[in-house]
């Protein structure tokens, strides 16, 4: 069978990882790379001399020798490049966030559907073995009913000037929240502050809370101005609690047999009716493969097998709707905003 021919548009600090990954996949052939920055193209040429390089992405989106375009360019260019790719009959993997504007994202989703092309979004963490594990745990009710969850994605640096911490980091957390919580996100509130780039109002730290139709809440803290490097999820269920700590090399998941029993029974004296159970902590073995390799392989598989991606365009749009409402709330000092 002929291999899927791929080109990558945007070979900056993250895009280069896609270049390396697609180059090494045996289900596709990486043909070329586009970047506006000459230095990035030289780096590609040095490492992969046989690849075509061009500053003009249209050399690939409009070429008959390319089947699929990967778009890890800066977020504000995703729409233009992905639209051109889809219009010219190319399958498309766009980095997160899918676009900056809901109507534009909807247009891409509609275009892909109309042209019967795969449109996928790089919500990387949904290809993480630990997230697979959490999903199964939650779906099989091993922690009882999910009550709430919170995530922390904080570190010191890399300070961005083209987007705030919400848009830079939170797509990861929001994508996991929507994946794990089997209910519609209806409202979000967000607060934060810009300390380093006050004049441009670029928030370095953001705290957001998403309210779901079934009463579950999910809250997140994102920041590039923090003494700790934390990438952690905590899920509190009615029977057990679980953490996913991505900074741990091996023991990423811990299940705590802890909880409060009797909390949902109506007694006159609530405190007397409740008892705390504080049992064992277990550390299950989780199969871990490189998430980016899984993500990129999945994209190619979806093209070959004509499958809907786990993180398809609609999923990108769903995450974007939360981001847009959260930004609105952030601009209004935390006033809750409906998610469209």
Interface with ligand NAD, residue 62, by CB under 6 A: no
Per CB under 6 A, contacts with ligand NAD among 115-174 are 122, 124
Interface with ligand NAD, residue 32, by CB under 6 A: no
Taking CB under 6 A as the criterion, the residue among 53, 61, 73, 223 binding ligand NAD is 73
Q: Which is nearer to ligand NAD, 104 or 241 (CB)?
A: 104
Closest distance to ligand NAD from the beta carbon of 168 (Å): 6
Considering only 72-80, 243-251, 257-265, 302-310, which stretch makes contact with ligand NAD by CB under 6 A? 72-80
Interface with ligand NAD, residue 12, by CB under 6 A: yes
Taking CB under 6 A as the criterion, the residue among 90, 96, 252, 294 binding ligand NAD is 96
Secondary structure of the chain in HEC code, one letter for each residue: CCCEEEEEECCCCCHHHHHHHHHHCCCEEEEEEECCCHHHHHHHHHHCCCCEEECCCHHHHCCCCCCEEEECCCHHHHHHHHHHHHHCCCEEEECCCCCCCHHHHHHHHHHHHHHCCCEEECCHHHHCHHHHHHHHHHHCCECECEEEEEEEEEEECCCCCCCCHHHHHHHHHHHHHHHHCCCCEEEEEEEEECCCEHHHCECCEEEEEEEECCCCEEEEEEECEEEEEEEEEEEEECCCEEEEECCCCCCCEEEEEEEEECCCCCCCCHHHHCEEEEEEEECCCCCCCCHHHHHHHHHHHHHHHCCCCCCEHHHHHHHHHHHHHHHHHHHCCCCCEECC
Interface with ligand NAD, residue 34, by CB under 6 A: yes
Size of the site for ligand NAD (CB under 6 A): 22
Closest distance to ligand NAD from the beta carbon of 162 (Å): 8
Q: Which residues bind ligand NAD (CB under 6 A)?
A: 9-15, 34-37, 40, 57, 72-75, 77, 95-96, 122, 124
């Amino acid at each position: 069978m002929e291999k899927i021919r791929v080109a990558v548009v945007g070979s900056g600090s993250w895009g280069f990882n896609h270049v390396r990954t697609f180059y090494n996949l045996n289900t596709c052939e990486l043909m070329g790379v586009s970047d506006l920055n000459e230095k990035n193209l030289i780096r590609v040429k040095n490492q992969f001399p046989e690849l075509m390089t061009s500053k003009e992405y249209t050399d690939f989106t409009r070429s008959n020798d390319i089947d699929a375009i990967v778009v890890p360019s800066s977020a504000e260019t995703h729409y233009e490049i992905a639209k051109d790719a889809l219009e010219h009959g190319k399958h498309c993997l766009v980095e997160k966030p899918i676009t900056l504007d809901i109507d534009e994202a909807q247009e891409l989703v509609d275009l892909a559907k109309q042209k019967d092309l795969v449109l996928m979004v790089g919500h990387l963490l949904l290809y993480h073995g630990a997230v697979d594990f959490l999903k199964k745990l939650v779906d099989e009710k091993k922690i009882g009913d999910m009550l709430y969850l919170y995530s922390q994605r904080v570190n010191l640096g890399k300070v961005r000037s083209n987007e705030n911490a919400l848009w830079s980091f939170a797509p990861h957390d929001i994508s996991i929240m929507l994946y794990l919580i089997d209910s519609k996100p209806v409202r979000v509130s967000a607060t934060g502050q810009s300390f380093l780039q006050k004049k441009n109002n670029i928030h370095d730290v953001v705290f957001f809370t998403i309210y779901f139709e079934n009463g579950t809440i999910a809250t997140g803290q994102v920041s590039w101005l923090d003494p700790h490097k934390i990438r952690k999820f905590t899920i509190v269920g009615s029977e057990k609690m679980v953490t996913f700590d991505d900074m741990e090399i091996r023991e990423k998941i811990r299940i705590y047999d802890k909880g409060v029993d009797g909390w949902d029974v109506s007694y006159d004296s609530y405190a007397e009716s409740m008892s705390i159970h504080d049992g064992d902590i277990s550390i299950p073995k989780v199969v871990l493969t490189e998430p980016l390799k899984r993500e990129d392989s999945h994209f190619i598989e979806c093209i070959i097998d004509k499958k809907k991606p786990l993180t398809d365009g609609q999923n990108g749009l769903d995450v974007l709707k939360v981001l847009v409402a959260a930004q609105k709330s952030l601009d209004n000092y935390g006033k809750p905003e409906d998610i469209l």
